Amino acid sequence: MNNVWSNIGDTNQWNSPGGELIDWGGFGANDFSCAMTRNGSGVATASCSPILLTNGTTGGTGNPPVPVCGNGCGLMNNAIGVSSVSNSGGVITVKFGGSRQDPYVGQNVTVYAPSAYAGTFAVTGVYNNGVNTLCSSLDNSQPQPCVRSDGTFGDSLTYTDPSAPPGSLCSSAAACNTAGVAIVIPTLAFKMLDMSPGDAVYTPYCWNTSTNSEDTSYEVGATSMVAATNSATPTSLVISFPNTGPVDSSGNTICELENDSGHPYGSAFANNTVLTSSGEVIVSGGTYRQHYNNYLTHNVFAAPAGAGNLGISCNHVTGDGNVALSECWDTGSLNEYDNLIVNQSSSPPAVLCSGSNCWNDVWPSGSTPANLSPNANCSGGPDSSCMGWTGYTVTGGSGLTFPVGGCTYDGSNPLNCPLMGAPWASNFSLSDLVPLSGSSYATEGVNVPSMVTAFTQTEYVCPNGANCGTHGPYPDN
């Protein structure tokens, strides 16, 4: 909140910075494999399995099969490296090159190759740096190296297979690769969905193992938010959500379930001013993201006239601003209003909308409405057709011109960057963004005096009624 982002996206200065100011919500969803059921009340339940890790890829002879719910569904390819496999008295030890994998004790490990080792076996124990001593500290994590009984801290695992060849199969990563070791292990890293009541449920693909066909009846969350029911628990692998359809207790349908939709929850981007020579956006990853309970308010995005990428957008959705917001954010919980997208052409004409759950912006261009841009030469003084920034060409302003492009090298001054402050030719200062008296947009964008105060104050004063702790913070002076 209350920041200035200046010269963002300048290809002359930053080479190829990209057009994303913020990747809203990011990526990194975990893809679980879940067996589906549906009750007579129109509630579906996904009973998921912990995500498994393999040292290779799926499909083909000697490799794990591709999951029925799609490649990567519940099984991560090339996620571990095997550095040793040995058999001592029927106890097989598999090492992962010293990398902690937290093998899930009691769950099954499956070996696909070599064939003499093939089979499915229960993980019986783990080692941490060659030690299997249980941790004994109060927080159950010391003294290291130690392990927990569930497999935490393990960088190797053991299981029992009396029929496996005795001795060492391989004792280095290269040797294990040559031997063709293909193994799938369970890990504590994915033993829970980490989803709570009200979280967005997204099941992009489902396959019915009985009919051998896609089951779209369980596929939800691709274009609108579907919230988990109150039975959800973060540490569980089971999640329920509203879902109309016939009663189904078979569990034959297996769905891919991603646990990252809806994020970031409760995030705010407010009273920021973004100055860009080329165009920058807050971008959503797609319609399935359905960002929940977000606040995007009182921001200003300014770029040269005709910038084609400015404000708020969404991957795979045509159009910025309201179009992106309506398709990729959960509009039932969105607070988005009083944002100025300056100098970009758009359709329909600009609408000034205030109040929560509004999803509208001021979309000014060179003609709709006229002259609403940083460069407007407003002879009548600040009004609704003028930005009213002190530093730019408005009545009473200092007469600077908002740049039409990025940094330029004129042959003698390599620091000629109009949207950069000193030492970059002293083209820009925070005071340029202070609104003139009477500006219609004085409350939009950064509050410069407040920012300057935050930068320069030498004493911290605890606000009345706030709990600032018994050990500080103390005054700087």
Q: State pLDDT tens for residues 435-460.
A: 877 777 788 889 998 888 878 776 66
Rounded Cα–Cα distance for residues 7 and 403 (Å): 10
Residue 2 has pLDDT above 60, yes or no: yes
pLDDT tens column, 199-223: 999 999 999 999 999 999 999 999 9
360 vs 221, more confident: 221
pTM: 0.82
| DSSP letter, residue 227 | B
Work out the pLDDT band at 462, boundaries 50, 70, 90.
confident
Lowest mean pLDDT across 186-200, 298-312, 396-410: 396-410
Right CATH number for 81-185 from 1.10.10, 2.40.30, 1.10.3470, 1.10.8? 2.40.30
Q: So where are the chain's domains?
A: 1-28+263-477, 31-50+193-258, 81-185
- Average pLDDT, integer, range 366-373: 37
The encoded tokens of residue 17 equal 């910075």
Write the CA distances from 243 to 32, 39, 227, 329, integer angstroms. 19, 9, 10, 21
Higher pLDDT, 105 or 317: 105
What is the structure's pLDDT at 397? 63
Separation between Cα atoms, residue 136 and residue 143, nearest integer Å: 7
What is the reported pLDDT for 365? Answer: 35
Angle at 199 between CA 193 and CA 203, to 5 degrees: 65
Number of other residues whose CB lies within 10 A of the CB of residue 192: 18
* 250 CB neighbour count, 10 Å cutoff: 13
CA nearest neighbour of 164 among 93, 87, 110: 87
Helices (H) and strands (E) in the chain, counts: 4, 26
- Give the pLDDT score at 383: 57
Separation of alpha carbons 409 and 188, rounded Å: 55
Pairwise CA distance, residues 448 & 390, whole Å: 12
175 SS3 class:
helix
Q: In what order do the strands lie in the sheet with 31-38?
A: 213-214, 202-208, 253-258, 31-38, 43-48, 238-242
Instruction: Give the residue-averaged pLDDT of 300-321.
Output: 78
Lowest mean pLDDT among 66-75, 270-279, 399-408: 399-408
As to burial, measured by CB atoms within 10 angstroms (0-12 exposed, 13-18 middle, 19+ buried), residue 189 is middle
Q: Is the confidence at residue 434, as pLDDT, over 80?
A: yes
DSSP conformation letters of 70-99: -TTSSEETT-----EEEEETTEEEEE-TT-
Q: How many whole angstroms separate alpha carbon 145 and alpha carbon 97?
A: 15
pLDDT at 117 over 50: yes
Q: What 3-state DSSP class applies to 391?
A: coil
**Coil/strand/helix, residue 348:** coil
pLDDT higher than 60, residue 315 = yes
Q: How many CB atoms lie within 10 A of CB 456?
A: 7
Lowest mean pLDDT, pick from 253-267, 284-298, 337-351, 392-406: 337-351
Using a pLDDT cut of 70, give the percent of the chain over it: 83
Amino acid at 145: P
Mean pLDDT for the chain?
Answer: 84
